[in-house]
Amino acid sequence: MTQSVKRTFAVFVEDKPGVLNRVASLFRRRSYNIDSLNVGATHEPGVSRMTIVCDADTDKARRIEANLYKMVNVLWVDDITHKQTIDRVLALIKVNCDREQRDEILKICEVYRARAIDMSPDRITIEITGPRDKVEGLVSVLRPFGIMELVQTGTVAMTRGAEKHDLAHPTVPASRNDAA
């Protein structure tokens, strides 16, 4: 038994109606709590990719993976938690901002490599992309100014290597290779 850590799964699924519901339903039914779930198209027609982040120890991660594989519409599951990955979150943050505060906020944006994308006399809207902790950092720095609205995506993640997901490969869950 290992400690529970935030796990990231890349899940390739058939792009069919209801697949998101099936995957979400699996997590709910087995009491696996989803931190974030992102879904979108891939470069392969008919294949969507989900990035699912949830808390799990090694055992639970294997069971999540094995249960995902049992679903007819799931093509490939990759637990990329311990791989070299690039993870990104996108957030839009609308902040209270009068004329005197503008410079300060824009400087903060520079530090975080965020961009101001909209402005009015009393507010400013900022876009930031980056790892979750960077986004959280910016949010905490902006909070004293008064955040009016905040929206963010779930994490999307990709491994750094040249790993190719061969979707035609038979799906063999890792759990079968691991003894206690």
Partner 1 sequence: MTPANPKLKNRIGESLSGAQIIWEALVREGVEVCFGYPGGAIMPAYDAMIQYPIHHVLTRHEQGASHMADGYARASGQVGVCIATSGPGATNLITGIATAMLDSIPMVCITGQVPSALIGSDAFQETDITGCTIPVTKHNYLVTKPEQIAPTIREAFYVARSGRPGPVVVDITKDAQQQSCTFEWSDEEIVLPGYHPDYAPLSEQLEEAIELIKEAKRPILFSGHGIIKSQATETLIEFVEKTNIPVACTLLGLGGFPASHPRNLGMMGMHGETWVNKAIQDADLIIAAGMRFDDRVTGNLKTYAQNAKKIHIELDPAEINKNVRVEVPIVGDVAAVLKELLPHVDQTDRAEWLGYIDELKGDSAVRDIKNLPDLGKLYAAHVIHDIYRFTEGKALVVTDVGQHQMWEAQYYKHDYPRKLLTSGGLGTMGFALPAGIGAKFAQPGDSVWVICGDGGFQMTQAELSTCAQENIKVNVAIINNGFLGMVRQWQQFFFGGRYVATPLLSPDFVKIAEAHSLTGIRVEKRSEVEEAVRTAEATEGTVVIDFRVEQEDAVYPMVPAGANLHDMIERPPPGNQDHNPIFETGEDE
Question: E-strand spans in 104-172?
Answer: 115-120, 123-130, 147-152, 156-159
Can residue 81 be called a binding residue for partner 1 (CB under 8 A)? no
Q: 């989900």: which residue's tokens?
A: 50
Q: Which stretch binds partner 1 (CB under 8 A): 9-17, 35-43, 48-56, 85-93?
A: 9-17
Q: Beta partners for 49?
A: 12, 40
Q: 3-class SS at 161? A: coil
- Single residue of 15, 20, 27, 66 touching partner 1 by CB under 8 A: 66
Can residue 72 be called a binding residue for partner 1 (CB under 8 A)? yes
Residue 77 to residue 65: CA distance in whole angstroms: 6
User: Do residues 13 and 40 lie in contact, with contact meaning Cβ atoms separated by under 8 Å?
Assistant: no
- For partner 1, the closer CB: 161 or 170: 170
- For partner 1, the closer CB: 81 or 152: 81
Q: Beta partners for 89?
A: 130
Q: Which stretch binds partner 1 (CB under 8 A): 56-64, 79-87, 91-99, 126-134?
A: 56-64
Which residues sit at the interface with partner 1, rule CB under 8 A? Answer: 13-14, 17-18, 21-22, 25, 29, 59, 62-63, 66-67, 69-76, 167-168, 170-173, 175-180
